[in-house]
Amino acid sequence: MTDVQSPKLFISYSWSTQEHEQWVMALATELRESGVDVILDKWDLKDGHDSIQFMESMVTDESVTKVIMVSDKIYAQKADGRAGGVGTETQIISAKVYEKAKQDKFVAVVAEKEDGKACLPTFYGKRKYIDLSEADDYAKNFEMLLRWVFDKPLHVKPEVGALPAFLSDSTAVNLGTSAALRRALDAVKQGKPFAAGAVDEYFRAVSQGFEKIRIEKENGKEFDDQLIESIEAFIPYRNEIVSLVVAIAQYDSPPSMNNKIHRFLESLLPYADRPAHVNQYRESDFDNFKFLINEIFLYVLAIFLKYEKFESAQILLSTPYYIHERTSNGQSGVFGYSVFYEYVRTLDYRNQRLRLGRLSLAADLLKDRSQSSDLDFNHLMQADLILFLRGTQTGERWFPNTLLYANRSYGPFEIFARSMSQKYFDSVKTLIGVADKRELGALLLNYKGPQSQLPRWQFDSFNPEILVGYDMIGTRP
């Protein structure tokens, strides 16, 4: 992989208002998180230092390869009037801009418009600027700013996507979903009337972009290495999905959102099978899709459980999923949620090939990958337990990979601990598919004795009775 050196960038701006200063700070933070070494007076100008000398040195320093002028109305006025620190900076900047016709060190970033016209210093003329003043276009134009910072010309840029992954020669994928995600998040959080459409647009982009992670076998490269690279490259997009579903769960979203999420999950399922145009294949060829589809479904359910959206969780569990055509067996129709679990054979092969000696690479991956999400691994285990218990009750086949780690848990998961309240348990019991505590007790008996239906990883397993805190359930109103 080729490393991309972090460019050093200085931000020139005016202390117009407290809100504007916070806006600039947020922009600087977002740039740093995207791999840019940002220099900002609030971070780098120390007490007692000469602010004018600091500004001059930043504009003229050759190691500072990029300078952006965050221009609002006050900045433009001070620049035109040569007033204050902004006036000093822009005097130097304007000279540098005119020094050569084709310069690429300076660019104006518009933070404010007046009567639809960008607020810019007069000296800047009709040069190209980057407009970050409109929320709807912010994501697209922020990516344009980053491409300028990293000297990635627009006429050769790939599809819009997360940064800085596409600026390297790594195996990272670019689904081109960041702008759609921003629109969807803003719409959901602000309760805009087009929120459902924005969410649908984002989910559709992810679903269609899924094709980009299809593994093309490379000569001289182990397939299991390619599989790990593929699922690791998807982490930013899994986190995007998590952030949107969390927003839907946290904010007062209409019931139609449940349908949007259900249809999105449904749209991923065909990827776990061969495409219609492929005749020669192995079942393991689609193992990256199988792992990711399982992971995404598990995260969505875990989020609904965490935020106590039990009706939304119930829809995921009880509403059938329609697949137009399952190409390996020619069948189409509706299926239960167990269609989101398929055995990933390549992981076992990898375990043996590398002599890793792990009980479950699938469990290890789910646990390790949870560290880069905003969801605690306990929430994934809680969701896996619900899926397993309900599956035993309703005939759905579900193998709870994450519960390999549940033998290290010494108490019930959160929703079961709260089920000490009978009222709370009345909401939780429908997820498992039992009518009352007595029926849950009968279900738990299946996991005891020599005929136990409990999953095992060699000698390791878990105790469902402890994880649901059975003795304490319903002991309070």
Q: Is 109 within a domain? A: yes
Supply the pLDDT for residue 171: 52
Q: Indicate the pLDDT class of residue 31, thresholds 50, 70 and 90.
A: very high
126, 117 contact by CB (below 8 A) = no
Q: Which of 375, 398, 426 is the last residue of a domain?
A: 375
pLDDT digits (tens, 9 = 90+) for 130-175: 999 998 889 889 989 999 999 886 655 445 555 444 444 445 678 8
Does residue 85 register a pLDDT over 70?
Answer: no
Give the best-scoring range by mean pLDDT among 98-107, 250-259, 424-433.
Answer: 424-433
The whole-angstrom separation of Cα 370 and Cα 428 is 24
Structure tokens at 466: 């402890």
Nearest residue to 7 (alpha-carbon basis) of 132, 163, 137: 163
Q: Which of 88, 114, 134 is the last residue of a domain?
A: 134
What percentage of the chain exceeds 70 in pLDDT? 87
Do 118 and 254 have their domain in common?
no
Q: Is 382 within a domain? A: no
The whole-angstrom separation of Cα 246 and Cα 181 is 13
Do 345 and 464 have their domain in common?
no
Does residue 447 register a pLDDT over 70?
Answer: yes
Do 114 and 244 have their domain in common?
no
46, 103 contact by CB (below 8 A) = no
244, 184 contact by CB (below 8 A) = yes
What mean pLDDT is predicted for residues 58-62? 77
Q: Is 159 within a domain? A: no
Q: Is 150 within a domain? A: no
Do 291 and 353 have their domain in common?
yes
Helix (H, G, I), strand (E, B) or coil at 334: strand
Supply the pLDDT for residue 369: 95
pLDDT digits (tens, 9 = 90+) for 367-417: 999 999 989 999 999 999 999 999 999 999 999 999 999 976 668 999 999
Q: Is 255 or 421 the better-scoring residue by pLDDT?
A: 421
Q: CA quadruple 369, 375, 376, 377: dihedral positive or negative?
A: negative
Do 217 and 306 have their domain in common?
yes
Do 319 and 235 have their domain in common?
yes
Q: Is 272 within a domain? A: yes
| Separation in Å, CA 348 to CA 344, 351, 404 | 8, 5, 15
Supply the pLDDT for residue 1: 39
344, 293 contact by CB (below 8 A) = no
Do 425 and 339 have their domain in common?
no
Do 119 and 257 have their domain in common?
no
Q: Is 460 within a domain? A: yes
- Residue 158, class by beta-carbon neighbours within 10 Å (0-12 exposed, 13-18 middle, 19+ buried)? exposed
| Separation in Å, CA 69 to CA 48, 52, 131 | 25, 16, 12
Does residue 449 register a pLDDT over 90?
Answer: no
384, 402 contact by CB (below 8 A) = yes
- Residue 295, class by beta-carbon neighbours within 10 Å (0-12 exposed, 13-18 middle, 19+ buried)? buried
Supply the pLDDT for residue 327: 47
Q: Indicate the pLDDT class of residue 2, thresholds 50, 70 and 90.
A: very low
Render 239-281 in DSSP notation, one character per residue. Answer: HHHHHHHHHHHHTT--THHHHHHHHHHHHHGGGGS--TT--S-
Q: Which of 95, 114, 134 is the last residue of a domain?
A: 134
Q: Is 141 within a domain? A: no
Do 469 and 407 have their domain in common?
yes
Helix (H, G, I), strand (E, B) or coil at 285: helix
pLDDT digits (tens, 9 = 90+) for 249-286: 999 888 889 999 999 999 999 999 888 777 778 888 99
The whole-angstrom separation of Cα 336 and Cα 313 is 14
Do 363 and 399 have their domain in common?
no
The whole-angstrom separation of Cα 170 and Cα 229 is 10
Q: Is 358 or 85 the better-scoring residue by pLDDT?
A: 358
Q: Where residue 53 sits, what CATH number does that domain have?
A: 3.40.50.10140
Peptide bond into 164 cis (omega under 30): yes
Supply the pLDDT for residue 457: 92
Least confident of 116-120, 167-171, 357-361: 167-171
Label the pairing between strands 113-114 and 117-118: antiparallel
Do 104 and 61 have their domain in common?
yes
The whole-angstrom separation of Cα 163 and Cα 147 is 9
Supply the pLDDT for residue 228: 95
Q: Indicate the pLDDT class of residue 218, thresholds 50, 70 and 90.
A: confident
Q: Does the reported pTM lie above 0.85?
A: no
Q: Is 186 within a domain? A: no
Structure tokens at 21: 């200063």
Domain range for 442? 389-477
Does residue 126 register a pLDDT over 80?
Answer: no
Do 417 and 295 have their domain in common?
no
Supply the pLDDT for residue 164: 46
**Total count of domains within the chain:** 3
CB-CB neighbours of 169 under 10 Å = 9
